[in-house]
């Protein structure tokens, strides 16, 4: 199974959700991407359908927006 | 580890998220509760901090609101 990708921007809501998701899914099953720092991956997240962070893109391409930290427009700045 | 509880109300957004979460977390690790049908558990969900469905309450009590299907007020009707 391909990994899921968890996109976040370092906000408190993001970090709390990251902790929960990594615990639930397993650290080896999810790639964590900080798009606030790793800014060249913002476009990849948008193309995957991510509208806000934190969000989990599953291995089959579904986007789960989890709680609400920041819109992608805000991360892009 | 105690099970997580996934609350939903049968809407298409809920069912899609349920499928993803059960796949990611593992069916044996999550209890799925349809609060549209199992209405006596709406109050339990509210007390856990669920504001909208679908939502996952983790074993340590954190609430992850996933996408947006319906507010709890709408489910309560």
Work out how many domains chain B is built from and give that number.
1
Whether the Cβ atoms of residue B66 and residue B54 lie closer than 8 Å to each other? yes
Contact yes or no for B64 and A65 at CB 8 A = no
More confident residue, B2 or A7: A7
Residue B16: CATH number of its domain: 3.40.30.10
Does the beta carbon of B25 lie under 8 angstroms from any beta carbon of chain A?
yes
Tell whether ipTM is more than 0.95: no
Does the beta carbon of B58 lie under 8 angstroms from any beta carbon of chain A?
yes
Contact yes or no for A58 and B20 at CB 8 A = yes
C-alpha to C-alpha distance for B12 and B26, rounded to whole angstroms: 21
What pLDDT, in 10s, does the model give residues B17-55? 999 999 999 999 999 999 999 999 999 999 999 999 999
Question: With contacts defined as CB-CB under 8 Å, which chain B residues touch A61?
Answer: none
C-alpha to C-alpha distance for B7 and A10, rounded to whole angstroms: 27
Read off the pLDDT band of A1 (50, 70, 90): low
Question: With contacts defined as CB-CB under 8 Å, which chain A residues touch B23?
Answer: 58
Domain span at residue B60? 4-76
C-alpha to C-alpha distance for B15 and B13, rounded to whole angstroms: 6
């Amino acid at each position: 199974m391909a990994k899921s990708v968890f996109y976040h921007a370092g906000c408190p809501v993001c970090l709390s959700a990251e902790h929960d998701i990594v615990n639930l899914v397993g650290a080896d099953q999810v790639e964590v991407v900080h798009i606030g720092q790793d800014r060249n991956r913002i476009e990849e997240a948008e193309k995957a359908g991510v509208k806000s962070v934190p969000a989990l893109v599953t291995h089959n391409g579904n986007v789960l927006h989890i709680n609400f930290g920041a819109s992608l427009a805000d991360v892009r700045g």
